[in-house]
């Protein structure tokens, strides 16, 4: 069992796909992969959970001007990914969501490497931190708190979690 996959050793590794050039079959595969990764949360949500209920909803997110998708790929296979939003001029943080890792690639540090890539992007843009919205999923809350230093902005059980960078 591999403990960690080094994204730098994958080809192509991190990519921001050109949605206009992405074949329809690849879009469908990505939609299925994201929904499969989110299915485990239905115990916490209380009903079958799909991140994107319909393919059309996924395409809307994929093609929204303010959304950017960052994927980790090895050859043609998408292993993990995240969506982040273009910050407006008043934003202090880079907002991201829909962070997913394919079931067979869990616990190999891919989510942490995606978060690291997002942090580099946020710093490059001169932002003060990053934020994500979470609800009642203890394993995710623990992951963002312990591994990445996120804290809840208001409520201690759900809502926006933020990580501000050191001001040195």
For CA atoms 85, 59, 98, 157, the dihedral sign is positive
Band of residue 91 on the pLDDT scale cut at 50, 70, 90: very high
90 versus 50: the higher-pLDDT residue is 90
What distance in Å separates the CA atoms of residue 128 and residue 93, rounded to the nearest whole number?
Answer: 6
What distance in Å separates the CA atoms of residue 131 and residue 42, rounded to the nearest whole number?
Answer: 23
Residue range 89-118: mean pLDDT, rounded: 93
Structure tokens of 20?
């206009």
Structure tokens of 128?
């003060």
pLDDT tens for 16-49 read: 888 778 899 999 999 999 999 888 887 777 666 7
What distance in Å separates the CA atoms of residue 75 and residue 10, rounded to the nearest whole number?
Answer: 8
Average of per-residue pLDDT values in the chain: 87
What integer pLDDT is reported at residue 48 of this predicted model? 62
pLDDT tens for 106-151 read: 999 999 999 999 999 999 999 999 999 887 788 888 999 999 999 9
What distance in Å separates the CA atoms of residue 109 and residue 33, rounded to the nearest whole number?
Answer: 18
What distance in Å separates the CA atoms of residue 69 and residue 53, rounded to the nearest whole number?
Answer: 18
Q: Categorise residue 99: left if φ over 0, alpha if ψ from -120 to 50, beta otherwise.
A: beta
Band of residue 1 on the pLDDT scale cut at 50, 70, 90: very low
Q: What is the pTM of this model?
A: 0.87
* Helix-helix angle 55-63:24-38, to 10 degrees: 110
Residue percentage of the chain with pLDDT more than 90: 52
């Amino acid at each position: 069992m591999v403990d960690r996959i080094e994204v730098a050793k994958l080809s192509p590794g991190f990519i921001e796909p050109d949605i206009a050039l992405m074949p329809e079959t690849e879009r469908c595969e990505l939609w299925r992969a994201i929904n499969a990764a989110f299915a485990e949360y239905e115990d916490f949500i209380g009903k079958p959970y799909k991140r994107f209920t319909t393919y059309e909803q996924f395409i809307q997110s994929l093609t929204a001007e303010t959304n950017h998708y960052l994927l980790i790929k090895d050859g043609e296979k998408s292993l993990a990914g995240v969506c982040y939003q273009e910050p407006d001029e008043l934003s202090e943080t880079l907002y991201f969501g829909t962070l997913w890792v394919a079931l067979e690639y869990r616990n190999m540090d891919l989510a942490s490497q995606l978060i690291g890539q997002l942090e580099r992007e946020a710093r490059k843009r001169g932002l003060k931190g990053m934020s994500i919205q979470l609800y009642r999923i203890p394993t995710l809350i623990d992951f963002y708190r312990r591994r990445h230093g996120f804290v809840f902005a208001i409520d201690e059980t759900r809502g926006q979690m933020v990580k501000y960078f050191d001001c040195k």
